[in-house]
Amino acid sequence: MELLTPTNWPNYELIDSGDFEKLERFGDRIVARPEPQAMWDKTLSNEEWKKMADAYFINAKSDKGSNLKNDGERGEWKLKPGLKEQWYIDYNYKEMNIRFRLGLTSFKHIGIFPEQASNWNYIYDSIKSINQSNTKVLNLFSYTGGASLAAKAAGADVTHLDSVKQVVTWARENMEASGLKDIRWIIDDAVKFVSREVRRGNQYNGIILDPPAFGRGPEGEMWKLEDCINDLLKNCNQILAPSKSFLILNIYSLGFSALIAENFAKTIFGIEQPNYGELFVSEREGRRLPLGVFARFRRP
């Protein structure tokens, strides 16, 4: 089992975590927001957090200033005077130079999952290793498109799918900010789209999945990870090329083991020794904050 974390990224830092919160720096901005995995005590005091944070997320169901223990609830950001709600940061790896527009949302997210940086590198290297002119990549549950940008920067023909129009628009802005073009944008339910691709006989050299624990498609389709992921992956196996291909499965859901992701890779895709493990980021003081599990593999 592997433990993966972002490296050589001066634009991101986890400063501290604890009491179900995390304090992070993105570029020149420091934000404090909920984190259900951070069950331990903070290293820094609450006063130090408030002094450092440019923006502090307040859960709508909590008293202002109290600890935030419920991931997924709506809330609002308390900003320092004069602070803009949007800004940009860059990520660079080899010849990949991508840019993200960050913003403060009512669901505590800011438009990027920094622990995914290791997977962006893996996507880039996988596409370069395939070394063909028509490498096709499908990114499901794509959010604001970090994986899509990495694939496009490597030269792939990228299909980016998400069920929320606003985040697809956000991903398009990131593509343009990165100086990239020609990503295919689709607003659809992932299960339905992949089922149609099976019937059409389409295949991809790369498939990336980062599904939520719960969600809804654009027409109200219900997604529950434990109920839907097995069948979705079986269909993904039918549209993943048998050679010169790769797959990444991310799972961010409390209680899910990395062994589950490993078993999917083995039983559905027939991969005897997939890479699997946990994604994490390290604090200044060295503690490691777990942020999901993964399995990934390449077919030569």
Homologous superfamily of the 10-87 domain (CATH):
Golgi alpha-mannosidase II (2.60.40.1180)
Answer whether 26's CB lies under 8 Å from 63's CB. Answer: no
Residue with tokens 């370069």: 128
In angstroms, the CA 225 to CA 25 distance is 30
Domain boundaries, the chain: 10-87, 112-299
pLDDT at 94: 98
CA proximity to 114, closest of 281, 283, 300: 281
Answer whether 85's CB lies under 8 Å from 78's CB. Answer: no
Handedness of CA 28, 73, 6, 51 (dihedral sign): positive
pLDDT at 65: 45
Cβ neighbour number for residue 229 with a 10 Å cutoff:
22
Q: Which two tokens stand for residue 298?
A: 């390449």
pLDDT at 102: 98
List per-residue pLDDT tens for the chain, 300 residues long. Answer: 999 999 999 999 999 999 999 999 999 999 999 999 999 999 999 999 999 999 999 988 644 444 444 444 689 999 999 999 999 999 999 999 999 999 999 989 999 999 999 999 999 999 999 999 899 999 999 999 999 999 999 999 999 999 999 999 999 999 999 999 999 999 999 999 999 999 999 999 999 999 988 787 887 887 788 899 999 999 999 999 999 999 999 998 777 899 999 999 999 999 999 999 999 999 998 999 999 999 999 999
In angstroms, the CA 41 to CA 285 distance is 13
Crossing angle of helices 146-153 and 165-177, rounded to 10°:
40
pLDDT at 216: 79
Homologous superfamily of the 112-299 domain (CATH):
Vaccinia Virus protein VP39 (3.40.50.150)
How do 55-59 and 29-34 pair as beta strands? parallel
Answer whether 69's CB lies under 8 Å from 147's CB. Answer: no
